[in-house]
Amino acid sequence: MSMIVLQDIIYILLLIGLSIPLGIYIYKVMSGEKVFLTRIFAPVENGIYKIMGVKSNEEMGAKKYALSALAFSGVGLFFVWLLQLLQGILPFNPARIQSASWHLAFNTAASFVSNTNWQAYSGENGLSCLTQFLGLTVQNFVSAATGIAVLFALIRGFVFRKKTTIGNFWTDLTKITLYVLIPISFVLALVLVSQGVVQTFSPYKEVTMLESGAAQTIPLGPAASQIAIKQLGTNGGGFFGANSAFPLENATPLSNLLECLSLLLIPCALCVSFGKAVKDSKQGKSIYITMMILFVVALGITTISEQYTGPAFDGVVASGSMEGKEVIHGVGASSLWATATTAASNGSVNSMHDSFTPLGGMIPMFLMQLGEIVFGGVGSGLYGMLAFVLLTVFIAGLMVGRTPEYLGKKVEPYDMKMVCLIILTPLMFTLLGTAAAVSMPDITSWLTNSGAHGFSEILYAFSSMGNNNGSAFAGFTANTVFTNVVGGIIMLLVRFIPMVAAISLAGNMAKKKSVAVSEGTLSTTNTMFVGLLIGVILIVGALSFLPALALGPIADYFTMR
């Protein structure tokens, strides 16, 4: 156990150490300052603006910014859907994979455009190389960039005074993709290739197994390039069905560490960027600390549960519950990954969460149900957390009878309506999706387990789709017309309703004048506020999901014994 604790400490220190300079760099990129890549990418950036017919210095109001983001995502949705329907007759299909069904194609397109990356198929058997690198990998970049763009639009809403604009969506999208996501992904992909992660267009290989002599097909493809951005962009969709539990996606302890760091790197860095952008690093620091406290507590509970509460078998010597985990990773690295991937809006896995102990599986599920705000998705996680910050400020204002303020802006009824949309939309659709699924007559045939654990499989699936995560318990049969259609609609709604609400909140905040700080202004950077914020987050999560968790993993824990 001491080695697991040491591993977790090293991970957290590396994460913090890397996120600070990256956060400063992202801030410089988004504020228009010159960076070391400007000389290389500035001509490319200007060329992109010319092709799109965009004036980089033209500002947009909230309505135009939101419509641009929705239109861009809508075109991507149609393109990825159509690509899957035609992949059987298109090139770069060495395995001769046939076209996907219309409902699976819709679900996959909705999943990747919404940055969820839920997969109701096995990558090596369901999608061609062309669909993977032209459809999914592109969406891994641009859906992540869209989330970060909306975050900076919201930041400008807090920073601007008496303005009707919040930036330019196309400029934000281009800068993030060119200067942040592509360079880091390129470097990570090269390192992953050096560790044995595949990157090739060669056909699948037939090999003879040494022990049995039987033939086995080894799937190949341009995996490293997709894996790098799937982790960095909190996408999570595996190139292969087993995701990062598959050796050709995650080959060594070093690749595992780098991929696990990538899950949270940009979301952590954006907390630093936020503090720099609002000219008060303490604001970003308080949010960073809040997220880190929740993350560390969740990690501790998951690891302890997997280490000590698993079933014991006579004659079996193992360190913790190893069911569903790769020997190379063990309990420690598997628990760390499961916590990180559900704290972020990522969803990639290096072990099967369905095989976790009841409490060990409940914590990743609860992290998603909080709204993916414990670092969360790139951009979307932080603007979701800022909604909780405003809610906390509003509650504190009610307690003292004072109009709440945040960053010099009064928080008024319209702002709170947008905050409620951001916070409650994922909660509502998670519970509605779960309720609809358990009402289906064929639901028992979609489950691997019955009873409380079977309900946990359903609840986990819709918690994942309803919070733009994409991970699965792996015991739920996802490729059905019901799950594909209902799940696809849920993924789109929980992505774009909060996104539009965040943009609208930004537009409303930008119009306001600045309010001078007084003795009655609530400090949002001290220990008391961090504790109050954590309390509000946990109360909202507990009130929303405790009954469902009691029917699933909590009941599973007591019946297991």
Residue 465 has pLDDT above 90, yes or no: yes
Phi, psi of 451 (to 5 degrees): 70, -145
Q: Measuring CA to CA, which residue among 360, 368, 81, 423 is closest to residue 236?
A: 368
At 322, list the tokens: 């190893």
In a domain, 413, yes or no: yes
pLDDT at 312: 60
Distance CA 403, CA 278 (A): 21
- What integer is the mean pLDDT of 173-191? 96
- Residue 317 clears pLDDT 60, i.e. is over it: no
Torsion sign across C-alpha atoms 232, 233, 239, 243:
positive
Three-state DSSP class for 54? coil
Mean pLDDT of 409-436: 95
* pLDDT classification of 314: cutoffs 50, 70, 90: low
Is residue 556, in this structure, part of any structural domain at all?
A: yes
CA angle, residues 366, 106, 354, in degrees to nearest 5: 30
Q: Does the pLDDT of residue 313 top 80, yes or no? A: no
In a domain, 358, yes or no: no
Contact between 94 and 115 (Cβ < 8 Å): no
List the Cα angle 421/551/438 in 5-degree steps. Answer: 70
**What does the pLDDT read at residue 323?**
83
Q: Where is pLDDT greater, at 478 or 25?
A: 25
**Can you tell me the distance from the alpha carbon of 498 to that of 533, in angstroms, rounded to the nearest whole number?**
20
Cβ-contact 193, 225 below 8 angstroms = no
Q: What is the pLDDT of residues 349-383, one digit of tens each?
A: 999 888 899 999 999 999 999 988 999 999 999 99
Q: Domain range spanning residue 476?
A: 378-560
Is a pLDDT exceeding 90 seen at residue 133? no
pLDDT at 506: 97
Q: What percent of the chain has pLDDT over 90?
A: 70
pLDDT one-digit tens code per residue, 507-547: 999 999 988 877 778 889 999 999 999 999 999 988 899 99
Q: What is the CA radius of gyration of the chain?
A: 23
**How many structural domains are present in the chain?**
1
* Mean pLDDT within 465-494: 91
Instruction: Tell me what pLDDT residue 337 has.
Output: 94
Residue 260 within a domain? no
Task: For residue 248, tell me if it sits in a domain.
Answer: no
Residue 368 lies in a domain: no
pLDDT tens figures, 494-512:
999 999 999 999 999 999 9
H or E element: which one contains 509? helix 481-510
Per-residue pLDDT, 561? 60
- Decide the pairing of beta strands 405-406 and 205-208: unpaired
Residue range 255-284: mean pLDDT, rounded: 95
> Does pLDDT of 492 surpass 90?
yes
Listing DSSP states for 438-497 in one string gives HTSTTGGGGBSS-HHHHHHHHHHHHHHHTTT-----S-B---SHHHHHHHHHHHHHHHHH
The answer to whether residue 454 is domain-embedded is yes
pTM: 0.94
Report the amino acid identity of residue 536.
Answer: V
Cα(267)–Cα(350) distance, rounded to whole angstroms?
A: 20
pLDDT value at 315 more than 70: no
Decide if 49 is inside a domain: no
Please state, in angstroms and rounded to a whole number, the distance separating the CA atoms of residues 1 and 8: 11
pLDDT at 353: 87
Residue 325: beta bridge partners? 351
Residue type, 107: N
Mean of pLDDT values over 178-182: 96
Do 198 and 220 form a contact (C-beta atoms < 8 A)? yes
Residues 115-130 have pLDDT tens digits of 998 888 887 788 888 9
pLDDT of 311: 67
